[in-house]
Structure 1
């Protein structure tokens, strides 16, 4: 049985260079006792065939497919159900893991049993190169959820038992773009805690204006997730302004949001 199951959902990502770089960053980890579970979420553009070719190169890859597009939450739940390890690591098909990411996270979580999950900081990049740095709170508390999710989703290593205790990811229309935010709040409600290693153990692919281009219906869904989570965490009514934050931000000019985001995410030398 592997020590870590790395789970990855993929949908219509028929870019061999990007996908291969991401997968290899996991397969080439200094800690190698892993399985990499890749679930194709009903791709229609040849992605599954690409993944089949890649999977033949390493017996640690377990490739499965959803017959129809179910969304990330259901796809990750599929991966969790067939995983064999006690620890689950997240990874996206367009991000790049530092070669020591899993080794460092595994050592930390084994030496610090008070934490159920561990994440890390990240370098932000896009097709033009590195453009920012995301620093997460080291020991996230309930209040840290007011601002945004205090964990970078594809950076986490988490005990499978903790995921099972909260019934994994919630598959719901309102969690379509914030299934991770919802999951982490539910984990904290149940008493689980997390930690962020203060080193960039991954490169997180994100366009500079990604949040400013988010559809307004997804902002409404995020507000619903925030309201429900904040109430369970005892953050209401003081958290009300943060509940409506996505709605207010969505009414601001996109150019202003893009500038504000770049200023918040300056590259560290």
Structure 2
């Protein structure tokens, strides 16, 4: 990796779990960045396919790159926090091993941080091209028009209300986080099955975000992607994911300070209640009722 003393160090954590067919492309996309001051840390979360062997073979040509191999499956949040302890960068990228950074991704993100007029900027994020397992184009995360610019730009600045009421979405795979903020928040919440919504809400409570109107990454859509799990009936993983959303809402209630914020969070709560109802998770549906009452009358 090229070291550039005058530019901030960026730490990229590549998390792998059964991504044997994709991980090499993800790793090579890091090495192909136009930005030179990058450290790469790879973590395999006890894959059951050939991911570990594939990565070790690749590392023969890159022996100085840190590789963490879990002795049991810890999950994404715990594995990320484990890898985060080894990072030294000013900024952090969480790269799934089936996604691809476009060559100017890191350079564009760092330049946005360095030149932004936003005060207390914690996260920058851009657009993503959604691709199939075979790398065919499917769509863009945010619909684009001329020159691949977003037709409707998502939120920048103080986005706390937008995160509560779902009026704007963050493309997490295209995001870069300031290290100091991640440390202040103590990384990902290891009680959760997924990390992004909780991180956005906790971060946006006190910090600003900035949208970059450019396609920065390619996000691969596979059968076991998180977004395909929300509405499966009698599915253990679905229940775990949706229970995590319940925990995120409980945490958000504690962060809220105004009735307007409570009203915004009610919209998300109703969305999560609908998911619980449609997946026949009646106990989870019932658990939401006191939260609704608290938001309505506090």
Q: TM-score range by the shorter chain?
A: 0.7 to 0.9
CA distance in 1, matches of 2:167, 2:182: 20
Q: Could you say which residue in structure 2 is the equivalent of 1:87?
A: 91
2:199 aligned to which of 183, 187, 209: 183
Deviation at 1:244, TM superposition (A): 2.8
Question: By how many angstroms is 1:36 displaced?
Answer: 0.8
Distance 1:55 1:223 in 2: 40
The residue that corresponds to 2:273 in the other structure is: 247
1:15-30 map, 5 Å = 15=21, 18-30=22-34
- Give RMSD over aligned pairs: 2.5
2:109 partner SS: helix
Partner of 1:127: 133
SS at match of 2:15: strand
Residue 156 of structure 2 is matched in structure 1 by 139
Please tell me whether residue 167 in structure 1 is matched to residue 174 in structure 2: no
Q: Structure 1 length as normaliser, TM-score?
A: 0.82
Quote the residue 1:14 is aligned against: 20
Cα distance between partner residues in 1 of 2:86 and 2:223: 35
> CA contact under 8 A between 2:133 and 2:221: conserved in structure 1?
no
Cα deviation code 1:10-61 (max 9, x no counterpart): 112222xx21111111110011221110111122323111111112223553
Name structure 1 gaps, 5 residues minimum.
Answer: 254-269
Range that drifts further, 120-129 or 160-169 = 120-129
Q: 2:249 aligns with which of 215, 220, 226?
A: 226
1:155-195 deviations in whole A, cap 9, x for unaligned?
221221110001111100xx203x11111211122x12211
Contact 1:224 1:243 in 2 (8 A): no
Secondary structure in 1 matching 2:262 = coil
Structure 1 contact 118–158 (Cα < 8 Å) conserved: yes
Pairs aligned (count): 247
Report which of the two structures shows the higher radius of gyration computed on alpha carbons: 2
Unaligned runs of 5+ in 2: 143-152, 233-237, 280-298
Q: 1:138 touches 1:197 (CA, 8 Å); kept in 2?
A: no
Write the distance in 1 (CA, Å) between the matches of 2:12 and 2:96: 10
Residue aligned with 2:40, SS: strand
Per-residue CA deviations over 1:242-265 (Å, capped at 9, x if unaligned) read 213133146559xxxxxxxxxxxx
Distance 1:13 1:109, change over 3 A: same
The yes-or-no answer on 1:118 pairing with 2:135 is no
CA distance in 1, matches of 2:110, 2:250: 33
Cross-structure match for 2:108? 104
Return the alpha-carbon distance in structure 2 between the equivalents of residues 182 and 42 of structure 1.
Answer: 25
